[in-house]
Amino acid sequence: MSFELVELSKIADTELDNLPDKPLYIKNIKSLKYATKNSLSFFVNKKYLDDYQNSNASAVLVSKELSPYIKKPKLVSSDPYDALIKIIKYISSDSKSLVSFISDKAFISSSASLGKNIVIHPNAYIGEKSTISDNVQIYPGVFIGKNVSIDKNVILYPNVTIHDNSIIGKNCILNSGSIIGSDGFGWIKREKGWIKVPQIGRTLLRDDCEVGSNTVIDRGTIQDTIISQGVKLDNNIQIGHNCFIDEKTIIAGCVGIAGSVHIGKECMIGGGVKISDHSVIEDNVIVSGGTVVYGKLKKNNRYTGVFPILLHDVWKKNAVFIKKLKNYIFKA
């Protein structure tokens, strides 16, 4: 399918420049380096100027600041990322409305409640007294336990697991392999060994959340684990029991969050961060990737706890020096 450049400009609310005399049709969106004829590409960083000069793209979406460098047909925007999102959604959208389909190879409890216009693929399982609202898509291999509530316009990709009593808000997307409401990691040590603490809380995902592939969110011990509205979680994240993550926070992949952690609004947590139990991260905090967090991080700050990468021999010398610092400090 092709789209006229003028059409895409209207969708993205951009300015048009360097248009050819004949209509220009776009078939795909590709990076400057891999663009071909009839590709629309994207230029927002001057360091890729060489890629642009060698690009086969037919047109370029560009920021106003960098527009003078572009001699090809171009879409000019003050917010090119927003424009790009609009164009991608437009050219990749399926104009067909969702067609209701329930596979006869899915198991659906007789006490479950199903809304209108839903899709349930083969090998899905829906447990007792669970409620599935309108326009929900359930892909193959999804497991939904007892007394689960799933609100409107939710997408559950293959092999998602939602345990008993969990609540999923409107417009949520759960990617393949994610697990909601798994058993929390609670143990007490006694003479005979470790005794498991029952986890009877729930897991709540508010509206507009997205959960990445293989991310696991444990249910609470007594209180609920709560993921607030608009939170975005990348792949392979572990969120322990009793955690609270406030609105519009975004967390990158491979983050480990221990139990009873509180994370405020609009935080950004980098990849590979480890957050110890009962830590508090206040609103609008940025945590750099790889940082280990414990205690309290105050709002409106950026925190970094990663030692700069060095040649190993240099790192060993610095490590020895750091270990000896206390001797110099005490002497002073």
Domains of the chain, by residue range, sit at 3-92, 160-303
State the average pLDDT over residues 65-71: 96
State the average pLDDT over residues 236-253: 98
Confidence of residue 61 (pLDDT cuts 50, 70, 90): very high
Residue 97 has a pLDDT of 62
Residue 328 has a pLDDT of 72
Residue 99 has a pLDDT of 80
Residue 62 has a pLDDT of 97
Question: Is residue 162 helix, strand or coil?
Answer: strand
Please, are residues 311 and 292 in contact by the beta-carbon 8 Å criterion? no
Q: 160-303 sits in which CATH class?
A: mainly beta
- What is the Cα–Cα distance from 180 to 217, expressed in whole angstroms? 5
Judge if 3-92 and 160-303 fold alike in CATH terms. Answer: no
Instruction: Please indicate whether residue 241 is annotated as part of the active site.
Output: yes
- What is the Cα–Cα distance from 58 to 39, expressed in whole angstroms? 6
H-type alpha helices, the chain:
5-12, 49-53, 80-92, 312-331
Could you tell me what percent of the chain has a pLDDT over 70?
98
Please, are residues 286 and 306 in contact by the beta-carbon 8 Å criterion? no
Average pLDDT, the chain: 95
Residue 309 has a pLDDT of 86
State the average pLDDT over residues 245-274: 98
Note the pLDDT tens digit of each residue in 97-116. 678 999 999 999 999 999 99
Question: Is residue 324 helix, strand or coil?
Answer: helix
Q: Is the pLDDT of residue 327 over 80?
A: no
Note the pLDDT tens digit of each residue in 8-54. 999 999 999 999 999 999 999 999 999 999 999 999 999 999 999 99
Q: Which of 241, 262, 278, 312 is catalytic?
A: 241
Q: 3-92 sits in which CATH class?
A: alpha beta
